[in-house]
Amino acid sequence: MSYIDVGKENSTSTHLYYEDHGSGQPVVLIHGYPLSSASWEKQVPVLLKAGYRVIAYDRRGFGKSSQPTTGYNYNTFAEDLHKLVSHLKLRDFVLAGFSMGGGEVVRYIGKYGSKDVNKAVIIDGVPPHLIKTADDPEGLDASVFEGIEKAVAADRYAFFTEFFKNFYNTDVNLGKRVSEQAVQASWNVAAIASASASLACVPTWHEDFRADVAKIDVPTLVIHGDSDRIVPFASGGQRTAKLIPGAELVVIKGGPHNVAWTHADEVNGALLNFLAKPSAKAAPKKKAVA
């Protein structure tokens, strides 16, 4: 097991767990809530077979990483990622984030620039801005997030059971694109996450990433399911792709939130095609629908 020290809470060090496999161009995978790096199991072997070096880590509070009660904000998440990238001395790397992980991708570039970043991938991500405000009427009502916070605080285990129904759209996909056992495995991972992290991460979902998105100057792939019930396509991927010059948008028809699992073949195909392309910045805008 590999860990990196990213800080302290009183007398206790905060460690991030990560895995580093293969060789070639580095691809850093950033998981979503409330899972861990293990959620990329349908992507890791495909990327390794294609000749990439794959680094996947657990966000603080989740998986095998430390469970502090502090640091659950996107500036700290980006700092944690930067410390990992610096520790591994990565150059010419790709950042790929799912859901909350999409926020890390854009905040990292917004905060640290794209000097060593080759490309970016955002899969059903939370950017650019999910909450409805006076200057952004296209977002979701704040009451949605307030309700989620109350549910997590009251009984996070019961919340996770309902959450994963919409995470995978089990009413449509159970027994077809996702098994009951896979849903249970996701619940198990969520259940061992930090109670503090499970609650504190919810308000980060409506972070305003518009300024960060404006700084993205590397080729970017945006993948989003058009049946996403957690981060609606119109609020997330569709807007993000429009705001990033030259971004490629792949819409997964019938895709729920976690398309990386339910529609792995489509996601992996789009990912490999994108990674194989030349990485000149500000590529001409091109959109594809899968």
Place of tokens 């580093």: 20
Whether 282 and 246 have beta carbons less than 8 Å apart is answered as yes
Q: How far apart are CA 207 and CA 123, in angstroms?
A: 17
- Give yes or no: 257 in active site: yes
Q: Which CA distances in Å does 133 have to 110, 136, 218? A: 21, 5, 29
- Give yes or no: 212 in active site: no
Q: Which of 15, 129, 257, 263 is catalytic?
A: 257
Whether 268 and 240 have beta carbons less than 8 Å apart is answered as no
Shortest CA distance to 23 belongs to which of 55, 1, 59, 46? Answer: 55
CA 79 to chain centre: 16
Whether 33 and 63 have beta carbons less than 8 Å apart is answered as no
Q: Which of 99, 186, 198, 227 is catalytic?
A: 99
- Give yes or no: 20 in active site: no
Q: Which residues contact 26 (CB under 8 A, 6 or more apart)?
A: 52, 53, 54, 55, 88, 90, 91, 92, 93, 94
Shortest CA distance to 77 belongs to which of 201, 186, 215? Answer: 201
* First-to-final CA distance of the chain: 37
- Structure tokens of 73? 């904000």
Ramachandran region, residue 14 (left: φ > 0; alpha: ψ -120 to 50; beta: rest): beta
**Which amino acid appears at position 16 of this protein?**
L
**2 in helix, strand or coil?**
strand
Q: Which of 58, 80, 124, 228 is catalytic?
A: 228
Catalytic residues: 99, 228, 257
